[in-house]
Amino acid sequence: MQRLISILGTGLLAVAVAACGSGTASRSSGPTASLAPDSPRIVARDNRFTTPSVTAPAKRAFAIDFDNQDSAPHNVAIYDGKGANVFRGEVFAGSGHRVYSVDALGAGSYSFKCDLHPEMTGTLVAS
């Protein structure tokens, strides 16, 4: 009986530890980023991005201040010119902010969209 209790206790501990993990494989908002004065700010309101065009630095990591002003869940995902996903931010219901940490992008034009509402689009220019 003592052994059964020990096995069950160990199993419950393993489940608790696993539940505390993030469980996400996508690149999301990684380590906490600090916002620079020139960090892009993207706003979602009325199921659209009210900031359809933003700029970011090329060839260095940067942070995006994402302001979801809707009650609906949204995120920001960035795609290169060939349509390949280069960044995917955490989906969350508003109203609230997330600071997304984005790895360095090469100079150029990228599209961004909400994964849940593909009609929500914008352009990010890395320069």
Q: Please name which of 1, 13, 103, 124 lies closest in space to residue 60, comparing C-alpha atoms.
A: 103
Q: Are 63 and 85 in contact (CB under 8 A)?
A: no
Judge whether 18 lies within some domain.
no
Q: Residue 48's domain spans which residues?
A: 26-126
Sequential pLDDT tens for the chain (127 residues): 444 334 334 343 333 333 333 333 334 444 445 788 889 999 999 999 999 999 999 999 999 999 999 999 999 999 999 999 999 999 999 889 999 999 999 999 999 999 999 999 999 999 9
- Type of residue found at 122: G
Distances 56 to 36, 72, 98 between C-alpha atoms, Å:
11, 26, 17
State the pTM of this model. 0.73
Judge whether 13 lies within some domain.
no
Judge whether 42 lies within some domain.
yes
Judge whether 79 lies within some domain.
yes
Q: What is the CATH number of the domain that holds 99?
A: 2.60.40.420
Judge whether 5 lies within some domain.
no
List the alpha helices (DSSP H) in the chain: 2-20
Judge whether 85 lies within some domain.
yes
Number of domains within the chain: 1
